[in-house]
Structure 1
Amino acid sequence: MSMTAEEIKDNAKKYVLQSWSRQGGLNPLAVEKAEGIYYYDFDGNRYSDMASQLVNLNLGYGNADINAAIKEQVDKYCYIGPSIASEPRSTLAKMIVDLLPDTFGKVFFTNAGADANENAIKIARLYTGRKKIFSRYRSYHGSSFGAGNLTGEPRRYPLEPGIPGFVKFFDPYIYREPIDFASEEEATKYYLTKLREQIIYEGPDSVAAIVMETITGSNGIIIPPKGYLPGVRKICDEFGIVMICDEVMAGWCRTGKMFAFENFDVVPDLVTFAKGVTCGYLPLGGVAVSTKIAEYFDDHLLSCGLTYSGHPLACAAGVACVNYYTKADIPGNVNKVGKVLADILDEFREKHSCVGDVRHIGLFSCVELVKDKATKEPLVAYGKDPEGIMPKIIGMLKEKKFMTYSHENMIFICPPLIITEEQLREELAKLDEVLAVVDDTFI
């Protein structure tokens, strides 16, 4: 017997602990159905998913190819252990390796992005025999204990005091840098010089890996300046450090390329992925490993293991999903509609007094809100929003059925990659209206 909307909400509030929330004031939306870029409540109201849920529902709701692949695999078998060869697991691993540069050789499958990053740093430490891991302050790599220590932003605080050996460095966040760089190249030189200096101070022979979101995701869509990632690659090569690109959010066509690092003329040693590999239809993540590192484990123990590594149902979904990216020319749509997104957001930066900066690549974008364009004072302070300003702004968008999230002083616009230009323009008009209210209310 089906539950009513109120029964669903009541049970959710009574029995479910919701992530990243104070539980007392929650009023979750009960969803009845979903299709394309939209989902619907039990009263028939249509909501536009402008964040692809958690920037993972790249192909939207109700994709027939993915649904059919899951159903077909259910009729064969739903589960078989990681040590047994499984057709969907083997097929997906080969597909992923074939999509990556020819330096890559194998895939270790995980359940999600956090444990992909956990296992990537473990692989790097096993391979190098070193212990220290560098990652950036404005980063989110997961909330499990290892991935949470890898994370740089405030969501790591509940895990502190943390694990020894995790070292943080600063992102190339040019908008917030007090130095007035003459060019991106000058900024790159500065940031790389400081990173190299820090590695020397930490002892290069002790550093196993440098881990970076290829494009910083929920901490601001920070796009690396020209030459930055190749420069990090050069530092890694100089000191024998493993370069790990976290593509959990930025991968799978989000930037208009299959993987975000393809935009920057660089090849990492390890690539972590999740989210868009199945678009959330089933949980799956993984670590793609270079052939050189994979061959190391021919004669050395790979001390990594998960009961659901390469779950057959998830891998079947992944095969259908990855095929669909090519079949439907998703990168083509991302580049076409992403140009419209970029143009409109650039207009918002000029039009609205509350918009300090906008950053975008493909359908991966955010609007950074400020109190003052000249001083760049953020609308809410880093790690603090005592008046609940950002939730109020997200609430205004929700009233217009524009569904997204905020982090710090930023609003994210990362819609499903199947969105049309017409749909995008319709939704951005709602954002325009809300930003006008912010101009008048909070500035």
Structure 2
Amino acid sequence: MSDLPQLSGEQVHELDRAHVFHSWSAQDLIDPLPIESAKGVRFTDYAGTEYLDFSSQLVNVNIGYQHPRLVAAIQEQAGRMATLAPGFANDMRSEAARMIAEKAPGDLEHVFFTNGGAEANENALRMARIHTGRHKILSAYRSYHGATAGSIALTGDPRRWASEPGMPGVVRYWGPYLYRSAFYATSEEEERDRALQHLRDTIAVEGPQTIAAIILETVVGTNGILVPPDGYLAGVREICDEHGIVMIADEVMAGFARCGEWFAIDHWGVTPDIITFAKGVNSGYVPIGGTIVSGAIRETFGPKPYPGGLTYQGHPLACASAVASMRIFEDEGVVEHSRRMGEEVIGPRLAEIEAKHPSVGEVRGLGTFWALELVKDPQTREPLVPYNASGEAAAPMGAFAAACKERGLWPFVHFNRTHVVPPCVIEEDDLRAGLDILDEALEVADGYVG
């Protein structure tokens, strides 16, 4: 006999509307789709409609749904030890920390576990401030770092507006984005050099002795999948070293195979002082995140306590899922597969789509982490919908998304972009089928050009 109820789709919908308070939503204006099941790279609603998932939910189901080895590991751990306070050592946390440190670059060998990415960034900035004795944090305008008090203050996009005034000490800067350059650059090299000079100028006028950290998404996620030009991250590393500033790489979305590397920053051979992670480490099967810190930062808290903690950090069930997930990554070559799909399938096919559709202004990405920027005018680059559009102003993107869903593809859309972010394990046939649907649906977006 199971203690879990068996609800119909109608019951799920009714109870959701009666009792669930949803994030980032006007409660009376949403109608969440009840989902009955998910497997591999697809999920199915209660009407039996199946969707090929080009969103990986929130760009976190890197390993796909219901991977049997990962499900079995969670079941096994639940039977052995379902929970334990973080003050004790446990085998799964120890092994997860070892495996993560082994994959991290340089001397990042110590892991502070959290329950998700926002808490990872929250603790990273706290560590940086205490380590340096400084209070300012530089964060990019085009960024998202989470929704807790500190991480939402770090966030550069409109999601922070309702929480302002927020945590003091955050200073904004512009990161590289050649397609809409803030620096009037005409090449990747100009964009890199001018973005780095802008960062140097910002540090100079803010006072380098007041700056604890620079936080950046190695590859910007929700705000456009902005791949930094070669040399940019190395330049940030050089600036941080010059002024004793902690470099924090937010890899919550970009890490664990998403960019075709264990950590996206490995693509450029740079070692930050802190990496934050979550999402892809176990594909969200159980909530987990963390910060991976350098030896120098760990030593700061050798003789004195670190003033932070979480009841469920290093949770044995979550850590067991991370251990199993990373073993699956290794055994099944998930990192290499993601890289190959980007190089051999997604990149070339999206280049064809870009050439075909006037609504596609630019395509960019790595691994299984890509964006198509949609425009009304390919010459002026006017976005298909205005920045932070809602209601009727956002209708063109809504129509495009609806066209995808009608054809059995679940897209990831944000502002004037659609992202191609399927599970990293997606096979070539499924990937090509999804890209063909995307190609068809873009004809709807083309109707708004001109």
Contact 1:244–1:268 (CA under 8 A) maintained in structure 2: yes
1:408 to 404, 415, 423: 415
* CA drift at 1:38: 0.6
Equivalent-residue separation in structure 1 for 2:60 and 2:107 (angstroms) = 27
CA offset digits 1:352-382 (Å, max 9, x no partner): 1111111111100111011101100111111
Quote the offset at 1:386 in angstroms: 4.0
Asked if 1:204 corresponds to 2:204, the answer is no
Deviation at residue 20 of structure 1 after TM alignment:
1.7
- 1:341 deviation in Å? 0.5
Following superposition, the deviation at residue 391 of structure 1 comes to 2.3
The residue identity in structure 1 corresponding to 2:258 is R
Q: Deviations over 1:269-318 (max 9, x none)?
A: 00000001110100000000001111121112211100001010000000
Q: Does the 8 Å contact 1:37/1:415 carry over to 2?
A: yes
- Residue correspondence of structure 1 range 300-319 to structure 2 within 5 A: 300-319=304-323
**Does 2:420 correspond to 1:420?**
no
Matches within 5 A, 1:188-203: 188-203=192-207
- Choose 387-396 or 402-411, whichever is displaced more: 387-396
How far apart, in 2, do the equivalents of 1:177 and 1:185 lie?
12
The alpha carbon displacement at 1:14 in A equals 1.6
Native 8 Å contact 2:181 2:191 kept in 1: no
The answer to whether the 8 Å contact 2:259/2:367 transfers is yes
Residue aligning to 1:398: 405
Q: CA deviation at 1:437?
A: 1.8
Q: Distance in 2 between matches of 1:239 and 1:179?
A: 24
Counterpart selection for 1:378 from 358, 376, 383: 383
With structure 1 as the length reference, what TM-score do the two structures score?
Answer: 0.98
Deviation string, structure 1 residues 157-215 (Cα, Å, up to 9, x no partner): 01111221001100101100165535322221111111001101001000000000000
**Do the aligned partners of 2:146 and 2:155 also contact (CA within 8 Å) in 1?**
yes
Structure 2 letter corresponding to 1:170? W
- When residues 102 and 438 of structure 1 are mapped into structure 2, their CA distance, relative to the original with a 3 A threshold, is closer
The equivalent residue for 1:170 is 174
Give the deviation of 1:385 after TM superposition. 3.6
Corresponding residue for 2:105?
Answer: 101
Q: In the alignment, residue 302 of structure 1 is paired with which amino acid? A: Y
Match of 2:447 in 1: 440
Distance 2:35 2:187 in 1: 48
Structure 2 unaligned runs (5+)?
none
Residue deviations 1:332-356 (CA, integer Å, cap 9, x gap): 2112221211111111111111111
Alignment partner of 1:90 is 2:94? yes
User: Is 1:185 the counterpart of 2:192 in the alignment?
Assistant: no
Q: Secondary structure at the match of 1:104?
A: coil
Q: Which residue of 2 aligns with 1:259?
A: 263
Task: Percent identity, please.
Answer: 45
Q: How big is the shift at 1:105?
A: 2.2
**Matched AA of 2:79:** D
Instruction: For residue 417 of structure 1, give the secondary structure of its aligned residue in structure 2.
Output: coil
CA contact under 8 A between 2:358 and 2:449: conserved in structure 1?
A: no
Find the residue that maps to 2:309 and give its secondary structure.
Answer: coil
Work out the CA distance in 2 between the residues paired with 1:288 and 1:179: 33
1:37 to 35, 41, 47: 41
How far, CA to CA, are the matches of 2:339 and 2:403 in structure 1?
29
Say which SS state the counterpart of residue 220 (structure 2) adopts: coil
The 1:178–1:56 alpha-carbon spacing in structure 2 relative to 1, beyond 3 Å, is closer
Which of 363, 366, 372 is 1:367 aligned to?
372
- Counterpart amino acid of residue 352 in structure 2: E
One of 352, 361, 372 as aligned partner of 1:347: 352
Kept in 2: contact 1:405–1:411 (CA 8 A): yes
1:113 aligns with 2:117: yes
Q: Partners of 1:360 and 1:92 in 2: how far apart?
A: 29
Aligned-partner SS, 2:388: coil
Q: Does 1:126 align with 2:133?
A: no
Shift of 1:43: 2.4
Distance in 2 between the 1:8 and 1:105 partners?
44
Please, what is the CA RMSD of the aligned residues? Answer: 1.2
Contact 2:106 2:271 in 1 (8 A): no
In structure 2, distance between residues paired with 1:186 and 1:30: 48
CA distance in structure 2 between the partners assigned to 1:27 and 1:403 by the alignment: 16
Post-superposition offset of 1:25: 2.8
- Letter of the structure 2 residue corresponding to residue 367 of structure 1: L
Q: What CA distance in whole angstroms lies between the structure 1 residues aligned with 2:107 and 2:58?
A: 30
Give deviations 1:119-173, integer Å, cap 9, x for gaps. Answer: 0000000100000000100000001111000000000001111221001100101
Q: Do the aligned residues in 1 keep the contact of 2:64 with 2:425 (CA within 8 Å)? A: yes
Q: How does 1:240-279 map to 2 (within 5 A)?
A: 240-279=244-283
- Residues 216 and 222, structure 1, Cα contact 8 Å, conserved in 2: yes
Specify the alignment match of 2:226 in structure 1: 222
1:194-241 superposed Cα distances (whole Å, 9 cap, x missing partner)? 100110100100000000000000000000011100000000000000
Using the alignment, how far apart are the partners of 2:404 and 2:222 within structure 1?
18
Q: CA deviation at 1:10?
A: 1.2
Structure 1 outlier segments of 4+, above 3 Å: 178-183
CA displacement at 1:384 relative to structure 2: 2.2
Matched-pair contact (CA < 8 Å) for 2:178–2:187 = no
- 1:434 is aligned with what amino acid? A
Q: Indicate conservation of the 8 Å contact 1:49/1:403, yes or no.
A: yes
Aligned mates of 1:246, 1:266 — CA distance in 2: 13
| 306-315 or 70-79, larger mean C-alpha shift | 70-79
| Inter-CA distance 57–83: structure 2 relative to 1 (3 Å threshold) | same
Residue 392 (structure 1) shift:
2.6
The question of whether the paired residues in 1 share the 8 Å contact of 2:377 and 2:449 is answered with no
SS at match of 2:109: strand
* Contact 1:105 1:294 (8 Å CA) reproduced: no
